[in-house]
Amino acid sequence: MQEIGTVISTLEGPSTRKFSFVINKDSIVRRGQFVQLKSHDGNLIGRVLDVYKMNKYFMRPESVKEYESSGRHVDDIFPVDHWEYLVADVSALGVHTGNGFVDSSFPPSPGTRVVQPENHILSDIFGIDNNGLYVGTIPHHDVEVKLNITKLLQKHLAILAISGAGKSFLSSVILEELMARKPEQGQLAVIVIDAHGEYTSFADDPKYAGRVSVFPVSDLQIGLSNLHGYQISEFFPNLTYVQIRELVKVMDTLRKKNYGLSDLIDAVELSEKIKAATKDILISTLMELRMTGVFGVADYPSLEELTRQGHLSVVDLSGTTNLNRKQLVVAYIARKLFNARKNGIIPPFLLILEEAHQFVPETMKKEHAISRGVIQTIAREGRKFNASLCLISQRPIQLSTTVLSQCNTHIILRITNPYDLDHIGKSSEGMNKSVLKQISSLKVGTALIVGEAVNFPLFVKVRHRQSKASEKGLPLEKAATEYYARMKQKHKDAKEFM
């Protein structure tokens, strides 16, 4: 074990929570790294909060000034570099004993040697699972972070950061890991609600050939005959109970047939039992539904197409900007998945929701948040049925707090907005001021994991992705040069044609 320093006695410690050590001459110790030392109960592990340099020759400002003003430097006269030393402040995480990990309840003694932590102890402490999803490494240490799939996903995951911080990149890494699992390791059916068409590239990657389906929004259909009255009420939260009841009655008369929205509108129009005022409202409501263009005779994709174990289904919503339409699709798919999972007719699934704040907003009125109810239901009850959510958002503050607090693991990349930081501080466990401060200065690709999946908040350097990245969201420079090349070619073609 490599020794890196010795615990010193300071005014505040060593205490059970904090201690400092002086760093050996040839050792490098960095802020954020972990250290290990023998304590009364076992191997104590701590995190370096800060490192600072000391030199007794420069401790008294008046004498430094005195020398400088005499025209000489202190280091001309004294061997100052011999007296420079480094001190690290450490916060104790806990103690690795023979059987498990316990809170640090006894201070280390001054004079104790501090060593580089053993990788297997670090793995143990953070709850790393060798059979888990490999998402990256612990910064400053050669330890792979592999997250237990049950702890990470069963009680839902939220990935939060400003745009461009690496959320989609990280979720692609998680997808790669899920797709790499063998049946005996437990495979999920994964469905991604892909707001920007960033995940469609999985379908072009030969590694995943035959295991990825892409469903563009223009092809999606909600089969009216499969629709229940309560779903209509979900789609139109402003309809009254009586109006819904009348509509469901009409739908029941059509139930045996395959019918479309126009058939339903006709049937409502022709019904003699519905009062004129109700009829008007129902018809205008159904007309509005027709405008979204997602209703048809049969469901597409079917449940079987959407949920196959070990497969990835990408619902590509990039083809529409109509939020209402997107919410309808998400509400319908989520409800269908959840019900089917409750009945045990589809495999355990993970539903990944990009731009989650658009689908589960905190403050929007009901009629502008059609998908909120069902996502909240899955967030609350999904764990019992192995229906898992992964919510991705760059606007945590706009995301339903109910849902956010049900996500037992949060992975946070760079966040700068103080309101978002405050929100996260309140909704994530184990967050203190110093951790929150670090979030705003994280580099792209560095993430903080807090919650169920790890025993302590853990920073991770997200690993490189192996899958093909999407062409969408090209860097500005590349987009501009490509546009130029395309226009030039067009010009040339036109010239040759003449």
Tell me which residues touch Mg ion (CB under 5 A): 167-168
Report whether 283 contacts 265 (CB < 8 A).
yes
Q: For the chain, how many residues are written?
A: 498
Which part of the chain contacts ligand ADP (CB under 6 A), choosing from 163-171, 284-292, 343-351, 485-493?
Answer: 163-171
* Closest CB to Mg ion among residues 192, 424: 192
Q: Kindly tell me which of 100 and 473 has the beta carbon lying closer to ligand ADP.
A: 473
Selected binder of ligand ADP within 94, 117, 132, 166 (CB under 6 A) = 166
> Does residue number 444 form part of the binding site for ligand ADP (CB under 6 A)?
yes
Choose the one of ligand ADP, Mg ion, none that binds residue 233, judging by a C-beta under 5 to 8 angstroms depending on kind: none
Task: Say if CB 494 and CB 235 are below 8 A apart.
Answer: no
Is 474 a binder of ligand ADP (CB under 6 A)? Answer: no
CA 109, CA 91: separation in Å to the nearest integer? 15
Q: In this complex, which beta carbon is closest to Mg ion, that of residue 274 or of residue 330?
A: 330
| Residue 146 contacts which entry, Mg ion, ligand ADP, none (Cβ below 5-8 A, type-dependent) | none
With beta carbons less than 8 A apart as the criterion, state whether 58 and 12 touch: no
Q: Which of residues 451-470 bind ligand ADP (CB under 6 A)?
A: 462
For Mg ion, the closer CB: 167 or 336: 167
Residue number, 178 or 239, with CB nearest to ligand ADP: 178
Q: Are 467 and 207 in contact (CB under 8 A)?
A: yes
Question: What are the helix (H) ranges across 180-270?
Answer: 229-235, 241-254, 261-270
Angstrom distances, CA of residue 327 to CA of 78, 324, 357, 371: 73, 5, 11, 5
The span of 8-16, 115-123, 162-170, 180-188 binding ligand ADP (CB under 6 A) equals 162-170
Angle between helices 323-342 and 276-292 (to 10 degrees): 100
Asked if 47 interacts with ligand ADP (CB under 6 A), we say no
Dump the DSSP string for 318-337.
TT---HHHHHHHHHHHHHHH
The binder of 20, among Mg ion, ligand ADP, none, by C-beta within 5 to 8 A per type, is none
Q: Does 306 bind ligand ADP (CB under 6 A)?
A: no
With CB under 6 A as the contact rule, the residue among 88, 161, 178, 436 that binds ligand ADP is 161
Q: Which residues of 274-302 are buried (b: 16+ CB within 10 A; e: fewer)?
A: beeebbebbbebbeebeebbbbbbebebe
Residues making contact with ligand ADP (CB under 6 A): 161, 163-169, 444-445, 462
